[in-house]
Amino acid sequence: MKALEVSDLHYSYPDGHQALHGVDLHIGVGERVALLGPNGAGKTTLVLHLNGILPPANTHGAKGSVTVGDKRVDPKDRAGLAEIRRRVGLVFQDPDDQLFLPTVGEDVAFGPANLGLRGDELAARVDGALAWVGMSDVKHRAPHHLSLGQRRRVAVATVLAMNPQLLVLDEPSSNLDPQARRELAEILLSLPVTMLMVTHDLPYAAQLCERAVVLDEGQIVADGPTREILADTELLAKHRLELPYGFAVPA
C-alpha cells in the first residue's frame, strides 16, 4: 500500500520561478525515506504540497496531484483538506514555530482538541505522544525553558498526537549536540509511522532511512537504497551533496 503518491507535480511561484518540474514520488506504508538535495532544489516546495499548504494546481500553471493514502489533496475540499493535514504531520526545523502555548501539555493537546477530542480521550492522546518521545516529565513545564533537543522532541509529540499516517521532518538533527542527536534518532527509529525526512545530514539519513531520494532543480535525479546513494561519490558531487570528512558509508 502507498502512504504517499506524488504524480507529475509542477509548481511555479508568482514571480515566475518554477520550483518543481514533474516530480513523481511514491512512498509505501512503513517506509522511512530521506529527501536529499542542495539548497534551492525544491525540497521545501515539495513538502508544502504534501498537506495542502501549497495547492497542487493554481493560477500560475501548476499541475499534478498529491494523494495521501486513499485521499487526494484538493484545496477546494475544506473538510478533506483538514483530514489531509491530520494524516500528514509536519515537524518544522525550528520547534518554536510549533510551540506557542504556556505548557508542553497544552501544546501537544492543541491539535487533537481542534479535532474535537475532550476529557480522558484527549488526556490519553497527549500522554501517549509525550511517552513516545520520552518527554512525559515535562508536561507541565513551559516549552521555552527546555533545551533545543527537548523542544524538538516535544514538537514531534505535537504531531504524533494527531495520529498521522505520514511524519515529515525538516532537518531534525540541525544544531543538536551529539547526545540530543542520538536520542532523537533512537526515538524516530522506534516510531511506527511512515517517515519522510528532509535533511542535509547524510550520516543521519544513513542511520534512519533505508531509502533516499535526491531532488535537484525541481526534479528527482536519484532514488534508491540510502547506502548506495551515499556511496556514489560522483552523484553526490554533481548535486552538491557531501559526506563529512572521514565518514565511511556503512556496508
Model pLDDT for residues 141-169, shown as the tens digit of each residue: 999 999 999 999 999 999 999 999 999 99
* 99 domain residue, yes or no: yes
Give me the half-sphere count of Cα atoms (radius 13 Å) on the Cβ side of residue 182. 3
9 domain residue, yes or no: yes
Q: Which three cell numbers stand for residue 47?
A: 513538502
Tell me, yes or no, whether 210 lies in a domain. Answer: yes
Residue type, 68: V
For residues 147 and 152, what is the distance between their CA atoms, to the nearest angstrom?
9
The DSSP result for 89-129, as a single string, is: EEE-SSGGGT--SSSHHHHHHHHHHHTT--HHHHHHHHHHH
Decide if 247 is inside a domain: no
* Amino acid symbol at 71: K
CATH of the domain at 190: 3.40.50.300
Judged against a pLDDT cut of 50, whether residue 186 lies above it is answered with yes
In a domain, 45, yes or no: yes
On average, the pLDDT of the chain sits at 93
Domain housing 146 = 2-238
For residue 244, being part of any structural domain is answered with: no
Residue 109 in domain: yes
Is the pLDDT confidence value at 16 over 90? no
Q: How far apart are CA 227 and CA 125, in angstroms?
A: 36
Question: Quick one: pLDDT band at residue 62, thresholds 50, 70, 90?
Answer: low
pLDDT of residue 238: 96
Q: How many domains does the chain have?
A: 1
The cell for 18 is 518554477
Task: Decide if 251 is inside a domain.
Answer: no
Give the CB-side neighbour count of residue 4, counting CA atoms within 13 A.
Answer: 28
